[in-house]
Amino acid sequence: MKTKREFAPVDEQLAYLRKGVAEIIPEPELKAKLEQSAKTGTPLRAYLGVDPTAPDLHLGHTVVLRKLKHFQDLGHTAVFLIGDFSAMIGDPTGVSETRPPLTREQVDANARTYLEQVYKILDREKTEVRYNSEWLGKMSAEEIVRLCSHYRLARMLEREDFRSRLDRNLPISVHELLYPLLTAYDAVSLHSDVELGATEQKFNLLVHREIQREYGLPGQAILTMPILVGLDGQRKMSKSYGNYIGITEAPREMFGKLMSISDELMWSYYELLTDFTERVILRLKDEVRTGVLHPMEAKMQLAHYIIANFHGEDAGRAARDEFQRVFRERQAPDEAPERRIPRGEPRRLVAVLVETGLAPSRSEAERLIKQGGVEIDGARIADIKQEIDCSQPATHLLRAGKKKFLRLVIE
């Protein structure tokens, strides 16, 4: 006889699940599902579908993965779905033009690296792993036609990606229209109670919920998570933008990159990449605001926490100690010049180095960066296209070469 599983009170579960969430659709239904789960002792099935379109994960990917872990922490079933079939079609979300589908070989190669990275967050023993080729790869033409009959073309063309392309007379391939319908069949096949995704996936997630109902199932609840802003402080974290932190990067590199984010951006990283409660984060913000805690100390605490999650506590502590040692050795003298600039659009680091006299010319500034001779707040910069976020008040310590320092104040 199966033992009835016990869960935390529903209000406690909801409070835990709400942290960092952009939207719950609809929250009363999620609450009802949690209440039914508690009553019957049956865990909810919460899933996240990920297409293995690239071999490595970065911190931006982990935002929604962490929310799946929260369901797992509460005793519910975490289903990690690898979209090995759907990746060959390609998700049109946020894409301005038709892109070529990935080959089976590319998808398989990427999928092999995903799980070991995912298990840095999810419990290996408690995670249900599925591949959507299990059902999508076996669908007959008749079944695909029947699936398509459940949704209207006009509704599909309402999505911003397609509407924008139509307005600009750019092509839309039929296989792109199939993507949200085929991935909706994932939700049908998994009998999911909850699906997780990024805010930019909202259209697809709503289609999934609707198709479940068309197949006679209760519609799943949806939790959307915010997009993590990258190191440039402007755009979403992405390898293509070069503003990312890979979860398999060396602790030292991760620490340096995390220390380079702006003071303002730090708080969204606390919100989306840690399990610190809202109360604790508000207390930290207040301590920084009142001068009790230095922003750099708050940022080091954040970097230590994130690195410890992926590499272990010893690695987190070692990366912090090394950063402090290097920063002390290279810290600016008390009389380091200060340059104040107004808030506004992001500034190219190369231009700032020339403008402030840290480099005599643009070519010299680029040479310094390429040779690893430029740092922002102790983090070495390697990209000559690096920008400095000027949208929020902040103070940055710039170093060019061995002895040139500048405090850049954005006001």
Q: How confident is the model at residue 7 (pLDDT cuts 50, 70, 90)?
A: very high
Q: Give per-residue pLDDT as tens, 327-367.
A: 655 655 556 688 888 888 888 999 999 988 888 889 888 98
Question: How far apart (Å, rounded) are the C-alpha atoms in residues 51 and 248?
Answer: 19
For residues 21-35, one letter each, b for 16 or more C-beta atoms within 10 angstroms of the residue's C-beta and e for the rest, the string is beebbeeebbbebbe
Residues 6 or more apart whose Cβ sits within 8 Å of residue 365: 349, 350, 353, 354, 358, 359, 374, 400
Q: What number of CA atoms fall less than 13 Å from residue 221's CA on the CB side? A: 20
Q: Give per-residue pLDDT as tens, 268-323.
A: 999 999 999 999 999 999 999 998 999 989 999 999 999 999 999 999 999 998 88
Average pLDDT for residues 372-396, to the nearest whole number? Answer: 84
Average pLDDT for residues 373-398, to the nearest whole number? Answer: 84
**In this model, does residue 33 exceed pLDDT 50?**
yes
pLDDT at residue number 371 = 83
Average pLDDT for residues 86-91, to the nearest whole number? Answer: 76
Question: How far apart (Å, rounded) are the C-alpha atoms in residues 181 and 203?
Answer: 11
**In this model, does residue 163 exceed pLDDT 90?**
no
What is the chain's Cα-based Rg? 24
Of 156, 159, 176, nearest to 98 by C-alpha is: 176
Domains of the chain: 10-225 (3.40.50.620), 229-330 (1.10.240.10), 335-411 (3.10.290.10)
